[in-house]
Amino acid sequence: MHDEPYPIDRPALYVVATPIGNLRDLTPRAQAVLAAVDLIAAEDTRVTGQLLKHCRIDTRMISLREHNEREAAAKLIERLAAGEAVAQVSDAGTPAVSDPGARLVEAVHAAGYKVIPVPGASALLTALAGAGMHSPRFQFHGFPEPKSTARRKEFEALKDLPHTVAFFEAPHRIAESLADMAEVFGGERVAVVCRELTKTFETIRRAPLAELAPWVAADANQQRGELVVLVEAAPAKEKDAAADFDAVLAPLVRELPVKQAVKLAAEITGGNRNALYERALQLKGN
C-alpha cells in the first residue's frame, strides 16, 4: 500500500497542466497528483525541478522530449505494467498542445491503460480570455511556418476564415510574422499580441495589424518571451441577395427577354427588381 495524501489510480498516466508563468496557478489537484505519483515524465527536468522545489515535492523525474518520446513511452508503459502511476508534464501549460506528449498518450491508450487529464493553465485559453474576440469559434494553428514564403502561404489559406485564428510564435520570429500577417490578412484586421502571460512583464496589446507589426518591430522588449497571437475573424462578405434567386431567374433569362424575365422573377420571389435586373445582365453575359 502507498501512504499518500491523494487517491491515485494505479496503473494510470496523469497528464498534468502546469503554470505558464505564475507558479500560484498550479491547481491543488495537480500539486497533489505530482506529489503522489511514482514518476514524473518531464519535458525538461531542470524546469520542472524548479516547480517541484517550489511545491516541496520530491517525486523522481525522467526526461520525455520530442526527440526521445517514442523510446521514453515504451519505458513508461513498462512502469504502468508494473502497476505504477506516472505523471506527464511539459515545461509550461498543458502537455501535448504544441509540446511533446501526444505520442505518449496515444501509446498508453493503445496499451490499454488509463489516461487521466488534470486540467489547468493553458496559454491559448488565457490569451483568448484576455483578447476580447467576439467570434464564438476559434482555430488554433500552433507555430506558423518558420520561413516567410511558406508562412505567407499558410496565412493565405486562413485569411477568409469566419472565426478567430490563434498562433503561438517564437520571439525571434514575431516581428517578421506580424509583418506577414499584416500583408496577408490586411492591415485593418484587428489582432492581439499576448506576451509573457501571467508573468511579471505580461503584455496584452490589441490593435489593427498595421499598428501591431511596427510596434513590435520597434520595441526589442516585445520580441522576448512566450507569445500568443490572435487574429480576428474575417469580416462578413456582403452577399449578393439577387444571387439567392438564381434558381428562378436563370431559366427565365435563358427563355425570355431580360425585362420580362426580371418582371416574372420579382413577382415569384419578391426580390428587389433593380437587383434582379443587374443579376439578370450578369447571367445573360455568362
Which residues, 6+ apart, have CB-to-CB distance to 113 below 8 Å? Answer: 11, 12, 13, 77, 80
Which residues, 6+ apart, have CB-to-CB distance to 125 below 8 Å? Answer: none
Residues in the chain, total = 286
CB distance 183 to 149 below 8 Å: no
CB distance 165 to 230 below 8 Å: yes
Q: Give buried/exposed letters for 146-179 (b at 16+ CB in 10 A, else e).
A: eeeeebbebbeebeeeeebbbbbbebebbbbbbb
Q: What is the pTM of this model?
A: 0.77
What integer pLDDT is reported at residue 71 of this predicted model?
Answer: 87
CB distance 196 to 226 below 8 Å: yes
What integer pLDDT is reported at residue 143 of this predicted model?
Answer: 94
Report mean pLDDT in 10-residue bins for the chain, 286 residues.
71 97 95 97 94 96 85 93 96 84 92 96 95 92 95 96 95 97 96 96 96 95 95 75 77 90 87 84 79
Q: Is the peptide bond before 11 cis (omega within 30 degrees of 0)?
A: yes
What integer pLDDT is reported at residue 241 of this predicted model?
Answer: 57
What integer pLDDT is reported at residue 195 of this predicted model?
Answer: 97
C-alpha 255/C-alpha 249 separation (Å) is 10
DSSP H helices, 112-173, are 123-131, 148-158
What integer pLDDT is reported at residue 131 of this predicted model?
Answer: 96
